[in-house]
Amino acid sequence: MASMYQISVSVYIRRLDGLAGCLKKAQAHYAEKKYDETSLMKQRLFPDMYPFARQVQVATDHARASAALLAGLEPPTYEADEKTIAELIARVERSVAYLNTFKPEQIDGSEGKTITVKRGGADMSFSGLDLLLHSSMSNFYFHTTTAYAILRSNGVPLIKRDFSGPA
């Protein structure tokens, strides 16, 4: 049976490693084609959706916050001021480094723990498992998938395996 650590931190690390790989391919693609990468940072799938840079920022925020909350820690915040692909890569790698500081014993057993978070100015309480499966993980996948889709829609030569991360 999988543990809370395995279905949270391990998943976040693998997917963020995949996202970093996608960003590196985007960086190489934009350099090779001599495209202005600042245009990518502002790309959206639809006008009312977050731009590319924000998709990456929010995905990393969800991963870090989820792990911290499950471990009973205050989630770290990072400024959302990246302007280049290299800066987004650094954000993802810094988030992975943070996630790598967690040990299974900090997360395992948190499935029934009550966790209260602020959303829209109101307190919302979740069990650890509900927070992970019905809030954090779904938001994480939404934003990583949207970032991948924006890269693909802008011609970055990616395949599904790039999204999945290293095996």
Domain that holds residue 43: 4-106+114-164
- pTM summary value: 0.95
By the 10 Å C-beta count (0-12 exposed, 13-18 middle, 19+ buried), 3 is classed as: middle
Domain count, the chain: 1
Phi and psi based region of residue 120 (left: phi greater than 0; alpha: psi -120 to 50; beta: remaining):
left
Rounded Cα distance between 140 and 7, Å, is: 13
Closest CA to 76 of 104, 54, 102: 102
Give me the tens of pLDDT residue by residue for the chain, a chain 167 residues long. 789 999 999 999 999 999 999 999 999 999 999 999 999 999 999 999 999 999 999 999 999 999 999 999 999 999 999 999 999 999 999 999 999 999 999 999 999 999 999 888 899 999 999 999 999 999 999 999 999 999 999 999 999 999 886 66
CATH code, domain with 140:
1.20.120.450
pLDDT at 1: 76
